Structures are given as structure tokens and as C-alpha cells.
Amino acid sequence: MPATNAKQQAWLVAGLGNPGPEYERTPHNLGFFAVDRLAARHAIRVTRKEANSLVGLGEVKGQPVVLVKPQTYMNVSGPAVKMLLDKYELPLSQLLLVYDELALPWGQLRIRPKGSSAGHNGVKSVIRSAGTEEFARLRLGIHPGHPLGDSAKFVLEPMGKPQGKELDEMLDRAADAIESTLARGVEKAMAIYNVSLRPRL
């Protein structure tokens, strides 16, 4: 278990998604992907079964971490995240929630120190369980840049191969952003990563 003393309290980094092979390659699972990318970088196995989640314990940039992928469905992610915060005796100030964001263009990242769910049902569930919006989050943009007929259907449709390279680049930036947030704090990470990408020609 990571050290949780006053000087170096662990961060709980929770990526949101849906379990099961039918959802594995969907935009709604970007939170899972980002946690997996971070875990691979730091040789953390996210395989422990705790609180209806897969959990991995380790260190990222000298910071103790609890990496989490709730295995409930997206819309009821909150109880699992809250149970793990309670189990590891972590305050909400040590939570970083990572998830897909349809309101942002594909590939854009946004770190926020707090805020509403903006209609994201997974985030709604976490806010409901935590009883507050006062926790940090990393939003990963998934809007494809053209009108969507059914947004609920879009987020649950498998991504195509052309998105593979762009997805890889986005996950690298997401892992970078998480590392920066843990090592430097939310405000400094925001200054680095909350920038707009140049439009593709």
C-alpha cells in the first residue's frame, strides 16, 4: 500500500469506463485507456479486485498512487470511487478523475480543479457519491468535429483504425498531464496542458 503520511499522501487516479469486451474500444472508455497508459509507464499492475474495481498501487513521479478502473458500469461509478477513497483514507483533494468529454474536440485535454458533471453520467455518479463537485478531473476530448445524430450511440461505438495513431498520441499526452498534476499540482498542470491543439489541415 502506498504511504499516506502528511508529507506524501497518495493520489487516487480513477479512470472511468465500462467493463466488458463490447465496450473496450469505445470513446467512453478513454478513462480506462489513460490509466492503463500511465500504469504501463510506471510498471503498475492494475489487477487487484477491490470495491468493485481493478486497482493498482505504486508510484508516479515520486508520488504514491492508487490507480483505479471501476468495474461497475459508467453511470454508477461513484460508489466504487467513494469506497476506495474511504478505504485508503484519502480526502477528495487527492482524487483525480479521468474521463471522456464530448464537449471537447477530439484530442483536446482539459484539467479542472472542480466543476459540474456537464451532463457526463459517470461524473454525475461520482459527484452524487462524494457529495460535492470539489475534486480535480482530466477531461479527454472525443468530439469528432462533425454533427452527431445520437451522441449516446456515438460514445459506445467502437473507434475505427484511422483513429489509432491519434488515440495513441492523446493517451501519451493524458499520461503526461496526470504525471504533471501529481508532481506539480493542478494549477501548474493546467497552465501546461489546457491549450488548444492546432486544427488539422
For residue 104, which phi and psi values (nearest 5 degrees)? Answer: -110, 145
| Distances 20 to 30, 72, 120 between C-alpha atoms, Å | 14, 10, 20
Q: How far apart are CA 184 and CA 98, in angstroms?
A: 17
User: What cell does 109 get?
Assistant: 485535454
The answer to whether position 101 is within a domain reads yes
28 in catalytic set: yes
The answer to whether position 118 is within a domain reads yes
Name the pTM for this structure: 0.92
The answer to whether position 4 is within a domain reads no
Q: What is the pLDDT of residue 199?
A: 44
Domain of 84 in residue numbering reads as: 11-193
Q: Which of 28, 42, 143, 146 is catalytic?
A: 28
Q: How far apart are CA 197 and CA 14, in angstroms?
A: 25
The answer to whether position 1 is within a domain reads no
List per-residue pLDDT tens for the chain, 201 residues long.
554 444 579 999 999 999 999 999 999 999 999 999 999 999 999 999 999 999 999 999 999 999 999 999 999 999 999 999 999 999 999 999 999 999 999 999 999 999 999 999 999 999 999 999 999 999 999 998 777 778 888 899 998 776 777 899 999 999 999 999 999 999 999 999 998 654 443
The answer to whether position 6 is within a domain reads no
Q: How far apart are CA 195 and CA 31, in angstroms?
A: 20
Beta bridge partners of 14: 68, 97
The answer to whether position 71 is within a domain reads yes
Domain count for the chain:
1
Q: How far apart are CA 68 and CA 38, in angstroms?
A: 11
Q: What is the pLDDT of residue 151?
A: 85
User: What cell does 134 get?
Assistant: 470539489
The closest alpha carbon to 81, from 128, 41, 121, belongs to 128
DSSP string, 110-142: EEESS---TT-HHHHHHHHHHTSS-SEEEEEEE
Which amino acid belongs to residue 199?
A: P
The answer to whether position 3 is within a domain reads no
CATH number for the domain spanning 49: value is 3.40.50.1470
Please return the burial class of 5, using the count of CB atoms within 10 Å of its CB with bins 0-12, 13-18 and 19+: exposed
The answer to whether position 149 is within a domain reads yes
